[in-house]
Amino acid sequence: MAIFEQQVTKQPPTSEVGMIHWLRENLFSSITNGFLTLTALYLIYLSVPPLADWMFFDATFAEVSNDQCGREGACWSYVFEKINLFTYGFYPTEEYWRPQLVLALAIVFVLIAKNLKKSVYKVKVIAGLIVSYPVIAFVLLYGGFGLEVVETHKWGGLMLTIVVAAVGIVASFPIGILLALGRQSEMKIIKFLSVVYIEFIRGVPLITILFMASVVLPLFFSAGMDVDKLLRALIGITMFQTAYIAEVIRGGLQAIPEGQYEAADAMGLSFFQKTTLIILPQALKISIPNIVGSFIALFKDTTLVLIIGLFDILSMVHLTTSDENWLGRETEGYVFVTMVMWVILYSMSRYSKKLEVRFSTEHKN
């Protein structure tokens, strides 16, 4: 009778586990793949070390003048010296606390809204915050009520970029909802007007709308009415964004099953009640990931305001390198602005991906 003994478990062969197996499977599974891997590695070798040298190892970080900065590597001293222009534009230095407070308030308000306990007051408090925030932010940034007035032509840098994007999304939202409802409406004239507006705006580049807002719009106002340059740009941006938001919300409206409309009618709800209580809450919820996506696109598009002469963060590159102390540092400027914009846009796009996953699982069951 055979005696069975516990055998020592053998290690799997090295070709099936560990580093070597992983390399084989993922990088050298065939001759073509091996060749591709080596080519890619060579390309990385060609591009990454010189870039790293330029950005870090040969770069100057100390506070020195342009001449003391080498031409071999980046001169970050320039960015450090101009950081206030990049952030606030010509906003007076002693008033920097105001935009900072506006940003802090935004964070505080979001935290309050998130941590409110579910109660009858929740909706009212949130509505109050949403309505009061733009007013507070405007008074803080512009001035009045005892604060020194800071004219809008002094606004600039990243602050202006954020203001334009934020106003664009907030102002376009209610009009966008109306247009989306109009496009879905059974009233022929309303539907026609909505379709014409949306398709017209979506058919032309933003820059032509901005040109229109900056040169044609002043003609429409009665003589003597001087409309602020920033306000004109904001009108243009809002007109543009409205059409895109309307299309996003229309997508949400179309996803609501017919039964919801019929059920609301059967309950005897009026059109207004049906829309605000049944249809919109569901449609907006479905649209949230796409609204965030549309906001990301708007944030990218805000850089266009430099073409009509507003000093956003991108135009600061040209402005700061026109300073004779810092001639020839455009590359550093563009790289810096690229890094700032990329970090903001990349985090937003990650956030929107997360939302998409969250909302898609909620609707699966």
**In the complex, least distance from residue 153 CB atom to other proteins, rounded to whole angstroms:** 20
**In the complex, least distance from residue 346 CB atom to other proteins, rounded to whole angstroms:** 5
Answer for the pair 242, 176: CB distance below 8 angstroms, yes or no.
yes
Which span sits near other proteins by CB under 8 A: 75-83, 133-141, 220-228, 248-256? 220-228
Give dist(CA 58, CA 20) in Å, integer: 36
Tokens read off for 38: 């080596």
Residues 40-69 that bind other proteins (CB under 8 A): 40-41, 44
- Residue whose pair of structure tokens reads 């020592």 in the numeric block: 8
Among 14, 84, 273, 338, binds other proteins (CB under 8 A): 338
Answer for the pair 91, 140: CB distance below 8 angstroms, yes or no.
no
Up-side HSE of residue 315: CA atoms within 13 Å toward CB? 20
27 binds other proteins (CB under 8 A): yes
Amino acid of residue 74: A
Cα separations (Å) of 233 from 12, 138, 155, 302, 359? 67, 16, 13, 10, 34
Which span sits near other proteins by CB under 8 A: 84-92, 122-130, 217-225, 226-234? 217-225
342 binds other proteins (CB under 8 A): yes
Give dist(CA 359, CA 119) in Å, integer: 24
356 binds other proteins (CB under 8 A): no
Among 55, 105, 170, 193, binds other proteins (CB under 8 A): 193
110 binds other proteins (CB under 8 A): no
Among 4, 145, 220, 272, binds other proteins (CB under 8 A): 220
Among 63, 67, 186, 258, binds other proteins (CB under 8 A): 186
Give dist(CA 238, CA 233) in Å, integer: 8
Give dist(CA 21, CA 198) in Å, integer: 55
Which span sits near other proteins by CB under 8 A: 54-62, 104-112, 286-294, 334-342? 334-342
292 binds other proteins (CB under 8 A): no
215 binds other proteins (CB under 8 A): yes
Give the other-Cβ count within 10 Å of 255's Cβ. Answer: 12
**In the complex, least distance from residue 36 CB atom to other proteins, rounded to whole angstroms:** 6
218 binds other proteins (CB under 8 A): yes
Tokens read off for 343: 């970090």
Query: Which of 240, 170, 246 minimizes the C-alpha distance to 207?
Result: 240
Give dist(CA 335, CA 337) in Å, integer: 6
Number of residues that bind other proteins (CB under 8 A): 52
Among 288, 330, 355, 359, binds other proteins (CB under 8 A): 330
Give the other-Cβ count within 10 Å of 321's Cβ. Answer: 20
The beta-strand segments (E) located in the chain are: none
Among 12, 205, 281, 309, binds other proteins (CB under 8 A): 205
175 binds other proteins (CB under 8 A): no
331 binds other proteins (CB under 8 A): yes
Judged by DSSP in three states, 109 sits in helix
Judged by DSSP in three states, 356 sits in helix
233 binds other proteins (CB under 8 A): no
Binding site for other proteins (CB under 8 A): 26-27, 29, 33, 36-37, 40-41, 44, 186-190, 193, 200, 202-208, 211-212, 215-216, 218-223, 300-301, 303-304, 306-307, 314, 317, 330-331, 334-335, 337-338, 341-342, 345-346, 349
